[in-house]
A and B are shown apart, each in its own frame.
Chain A
Amino acid sequence: MSGLSLRIRLRRDRSLLLMTVPTVALLVVFNYVPLFGLVTAFQSYDPLVGVGQSEWVGLYQFQRLFNDPLFWGAVGNTLYLSFVQLVLFFPIPIALALLLDSVLSERVRTFVQSVVYLPHFFSWVLTITIFQQMLGGAGALNQFLRTNDLATWDVMTEPGTFALLVTSQVIWKEAGWGIIVFLAALAAINTDLYEAAAADGAGWWRRMWHITLPGLRAVIVLMLVLRLGNALTVGFEQFLVQREAVGHETADVLDTFAFYYGIATGDYSYGAAAGLFKSVISLLLLWGANKLAHAFGGDGLYRR
Chain B
Amino acid sequence: MEKGRSHSMGIELNRRSFVRAAIAAAAFGPLVSACSSAPRPQAGVNSGAALQAALPAHLPNTAVPPDIPSVAGGPGVLTDPGYLTYPSSRVATVSGVPGRGGAYTAVTPLWGTVPSPGNSFYEAMNKALGVNLTMKPADGNNYATIIPTMTAAKRLPDWIQLPTWWNAAFNVGGLAASQLADLTPYLAGDKVKKYPNLAAIPTGAWQVGAWGDKLYGIPSFSSSFVVTGTTYYRRDVLDAKGIKADQVKSADDLLNLGKELTDAKRGVWAFDDVWTYLFPSWGVPAKWKVDNGKLVHKYLMPEFLEALDWHYKLATAGYLHPDAVAGDNANANTRFYSGKTLITGGGTGTWNLADHQSGSAANPGYRRGSFNYFAADGKSEARMFMATSSTTVSYLNVNLKPEQIEELLAVANYLAAPYGTAEYTMVNFGVEGVHHTVVNGVPTANEEGKKNVQAQTFPFLASPPAVISNPGADVVTRDYTAWQAANAKALYKPVFWNMNVSMPQAMATADAAQAVEDSIKDCYHGKKKVSEVQEAIKTWQSGGGDRLAGWMDENVLQKFGTGQ
Interface residues of chain A, those whose CB is within 8 Å of chain B, are 44, 46-50, 53-55, 57-60, 62-64, 66-67, 69-70, 129, 132, 136-139, 142-143, 146-147, 154, 156-157, 159, 241-249, 260-261, 264-267, 270, 277, 280
Contact = CB atoms under 8 A, between A and B. Distances in A.
A260 B515 CA distance: 9
A117 B321 CA distance: 33
Chain A interface SS verdict (over half): helix
A63 B25 CA distance: 6
B152 A49 contact: yes
Given A60-B25, A266-B168, A50 B152 contact: yes
A276 to B, nearest CB: 8
Interface in B253-287: 264-265, 267, 269
A245 B326 contact: yes
Interface centre among A57, A261, A266 (most CB of B within 10 A): A266
A66 B11 CA distance: 13
B326 A157 contact: yes
Interface residues of B, number: 56
A188 to B, nearest CB: 40
A60 B527 contact: no
A245 B35 contact: no
A157 B528 CA distance: 12
B39 A242 contact: no
A132 B326 contact: yes
Nearest to A133: B323
Contacts of A64: 25, 29
A245 B265 CA distance: 22
A60 B322 contact: no
Given A48-B148, A243-B327, A245-B325, 7 more contacts: A46-B171, A59-B6, A60-B32, A62-B9, A67-B21, A132-B326, A143-B267
Contacts of A247: 518, 522, 525, 527-528
Given A247-B527, A267-B509, A70 B28 contact: no
B265 A47 contact: no
Interface in B115-162: 148, 151-152
25 contacts: A44-B505, A47-B148, A48-B151, A49-B40, A55-B35, A59-B9, A60-B32, A63-B24, A63-B28, A64-B25, A64-B29, A66-B18, A67-B22, A129-B328, A132-B328, A137-B323, A137-B326, A147-B265, A241-B327, A244-B327, A248-B518, A248-B519, A249-B522, A260-B518, A266-B169
Given A48-B148, A66-B18, A265-B514, A137 B325 contact: yes
A280 B10 contact: yes
Contact of B340 (A66, A138, A261): A138
Contacts of A147: 265
A57 B40 contact: no
Contact of A55 (B36, B174, B515): B36
Given A57-B32, A157-B527, A70 B25 contact: no
A266 B28 CA distance: 21
Given A138-B267, A138-B269, A48 B174 contact: yes
Given A48-B148, A48-B174, A67-B22, A59 B3 contact: yes
A55 B328 contact: no
Contacts of B3: 58-59
A280 B35 CA distance: 29
A67 B9 CA distance: 13
Nearest to A159: B527
Nearest to A132: B326
A268 to B, nearest CB: 9
Nearest to A143: B267
B77 interface: no
Nearest to A270: B509
Given A49-B40, A138-B321, A67 B25 contact: yes
B272 to A, nearest CB: 12
Contacts of B152: 47-50
A57 B152 CA distance: 20
B171 A245 contact: no
Contact of B6 (A49, A58, A138, A159): A58
A48 B21 CA distance: 30
A137 B525 CA distance: 13
B323 A46 contact: no
Nearest to A148: B265
A108 B528 CA distance: 49
Contacts of B36: 44, 55, 57
Nearest first, the 7 A-B pairs at minimum CB distance are A137-B322, A244-B327, A58-B1, A63-B25, A47-B148, A265-B512, A245-B326
A221 B142 CA distance: 41
Contacts of A270: 509
B357 interface: no
Contact of B323 (A54, A58, A138, A248): A138
Contact of A266 (B327, B508, B527): B508
A292 B168 CA distance: 48
Interface centre among A54, A55, A246, A265 (most CB of B within 10 A): A265
Nearest to A152: B264
Interface string B10-34: 1101000010011011001100100
B521 interface: yes
B453 interface: no
Contacts of A53: 39
Contacts of A245: 325-327
Interface centre among A55, A69, A129, A139 (most CB of B within 10 A): A55
B32 A146 contact: no
B334 to A, nearest CB: 12
B325 A57 contact: no
Interface string B313-329: 00000000111011110
A51 B527 CA distance: 40
A143 B522 CA distance: 24
Contacts of B539: 69
Interface in B19-63: 21-22, 24-25, 28-29, 32, 35-36, 38-40
Given A55-B35, A247-B522, A247-B528, A47 B171 contact: yes
B322 A136 contact: yes
A57 B6 CA distance: 13
Contacts of A46: 39-40, 171, 505
